[in-house]
Amino acid sequence: MKLTNDISWWYWAATIPLIAFGLAGYSAGFIAAAALTAVQIVHFYSREKRLLAFPVQVRIAYLGLLLLAQWPPFYWVYWLQLIGTTAMVLFSYCLLARALSLMPWNRNEPFSLKLLVRTFISAPVQGNILQGMPAE
């Protein structure tokens, strides 16, 4: 595990035990994870000044998934978030950011199978996936 001075990394690292506590039966963990994600949204919005800034989008989507998982048929999403957030912290690989990078407002090339594959199998990058996607 690589400790970093990046506040984003610390937010995600703090989110992991919160979701784990929730999955262990302490529902306050899910509430705390949602609250921490809301704090991240405010923090990154105040820094970026745009709701469509990629770091803000990722956090809004993450909060949306936390809220969706409150509905019993989607409880499994918490497990996906725990695994994905752990991958982000340990390996700098963010599945959610990669999925969001495929949205029409976030890409400069037409959607294709080649883009889809390249998005999900490319190595982790510093910054965000929009800044570090390999060229076609």
C-alpha distance from residue 49 to each of 11, 32, 78, 117 (Å): 19, 25, 29, 32
Q: What is the mean pLDDT of residues 35-49?
A: 97
Q: Which of 96-105, 111-120, 121-130 has the lowest mean pLDDT?
A: 121-130
Percent of the chain with pLDDT over 90: 74
What pLDDT score does 6 carry? 87
d(CA 8, CA 94): 12
Q: Evaluate the CA torsion angle 36, 123, 80, 101 in order and state its sign.
A: positive
Strands (E), the chain: none
C-alpha distance from residue 106 to each of 25, 38, 100, 119, 120 (Å): 37, 22, 7, 12, 15
Cα 67 → chain centroid: 14
What pLDDT score does 125 carry? 65
pLDDT at 126 exceeding the cut of 90: no
Q: What is the mean pLDDT of residues 50-79?
A: 96
pLDDT class of 31 with cuts at 50, 70, 90: very high
pTM, rounded to two decimals: 0.87
pLDDT at 81 exceeding the cut of 70: yes
Angle between helices 7-23 and 28-48 (to 10 degrees): 160
Q: What is the mean pLDDT of residues 107-126?
A: 85
